[in-house]
Amino acid sequence: MRRHRFVNFRFKDAQGQIHEAIAAVGETLKQVSAMNPLVDLECACGGTLQCTACHIEMDPKLAGSPCEEEMDLLDTVKDALPTSRLGCQVRITPEMENALVFSLISNRRRKVLLGMDQEQLELMLKTYQAPAFRAKQLVDILYSSRGDSLRSLHDLVQWPLSLRQRLENDGVVVGRNEVMRERISVDGTHKFLIEVQDKMIECVGIPSEKRLTVCVSTQVGCAMGCSFCATGKMGLTRNLTVDQILDQVLTVQDRMKTRVSHVVFMGMGEPMGNYDATIAAVKAMNKQIGIGMRNITVSTVGIPGAINKLAEENLQITLAVSLHAATQQQREEMVPSAKEYPLHQLVDDCKNYVAKTNRRVTFEYCLLAGVNDTPEEARALNELMRGWQCHLNIIPWNSIDDTSFKRPTKQQVDRFIEMIGQNVTVRKTRGMDANMACGQLIVNNK
């Protein structure tokens, strides 16, 4: 049997489905904290793989030439694996499976704890000969709801110094980020400017009498380019990782000294444009932080195929679709991506989502005075919403710089609702005085 240097990773997700990772080996290695334990490794050509228990490294002297598919992965693999240790040969056995899980983590430049569950932490700590109870300790403080969640390995004062030093020497980090600035609105809403590696993002903590909601960002900037949104003017820089999304929730919880009860994915970025990290973060918020699935809302302007994919996840979350117009022409003027995702297809996919999940879809409608508040739009909304499980949430536009749009008056909002002829809700504006309301998040990363 032929043996090759470059491999096809196969792994199991939380639902037990096996995924191939041929096309994104590097990303798989970098995002391993969002994965469940490795199932097996095999050559893309069906040959055997040589590996070590401490590092996933291929012997460059193995017989046979790589296939064309493997050659295409050469640059990706070189970026993902340390080149100085190539050459070790150890055949993979079932007994080595636990070590292999951490082998992938060991090859990351930055090994992040945030996002791991107790089972994954047990597997990692087993390679350090640490007792299993350490993983439970780590989970409890990593995701603490008491406002004192773990920020640094130095804070693990109850752990042996030698264990902490070994973790640090291997590049293990908690995954918490620095708050560069905190602003507080007159209504008590908090906005946090957070540094994620070399970029800045914003998230918002929205307190009320019985809850604390966090509005999280999923990307640095946004590619959707909606004309009425400040974040859309930034363009897209990159996706956030799972730990960077979770860190926002824990940051708000720690700084505001209140347990987070609700999360809305309505900050910077398009969550469905960062699908894998968004779904992994949702599951971690539920299982690790303890936020109920029904208290998590994921918003999307609509990306072809994503809503149907989300329906298959069978999550009890709320799906909020940023509609903003009920006619195709008007929606294209406000949401450029609508040209690639016609309104009728978006609505059909939403109806399919309802049929599969039995969960109501919420339509978000940013109301702009004199733009999308016409009788024609109201009639189209009435027709669009009739006869199925959906709800309309009207958001009076929050002003941003460099636009000619105008915020509607209360009378204009009431008149539009009356024309629609359906039961709707109007979102209460929070934090507008400090530019932390819906559509106002923007940072300069230049």
CA distances from 170 to 37, 54, 347 (A): 20, 12, 49
Q: Measure the CA–CA gap between 58 and 85, rounded to whole angstroms.
A: 9
* 79 within 8 A of 107, measured Cβ to Cβ: no
Question: Could you give the count of Cα atoms lying within 13 Å of 382 in the half-sphere of its Cβ?
Answer: 14
- Residue 181's SS3 state is strand
* 265 within 8 A of 255, measured Cβ to Cβ: no
- Residue 93's SS3 state is coil
- Among this protein's residues, is 202 annotated catalytic? yes
Q: Measure the CA–CA gap between 156 and 3, rounded to whole angstroms.
A: 44
- Residue 297's SS3 state is strand
* 113 within 8 A of 173, measured Cβ to Cβ: yes
Burial of 229 from C-beta contacts in 10 A (0-12 / 13-18 / 19+)? buried
Q: Measure the CA–CA gap between 406 and 425, rounded to whole angstroms.
A: 20
Quickly tell me which residue has 């208290």 as its tokens: 295
Residue 97 CB partners (closer than 8 Å, separation 6+): 37, 38
Which of the following is catalytic: 202, 270, 364, 377?
202
Structure tokens at 41: 């490794």
Which of the following is catalytic: 229, 350, 366, 438?
438
CA 10 to the chain's CA centroid: 22
- Cα of first residue to Cα of last residue in the chain, in angstroms, is 52
Residue 374 CB partners (closer than 8 Å, separation 6+): none
Which residues are marked as active site? 202, 438
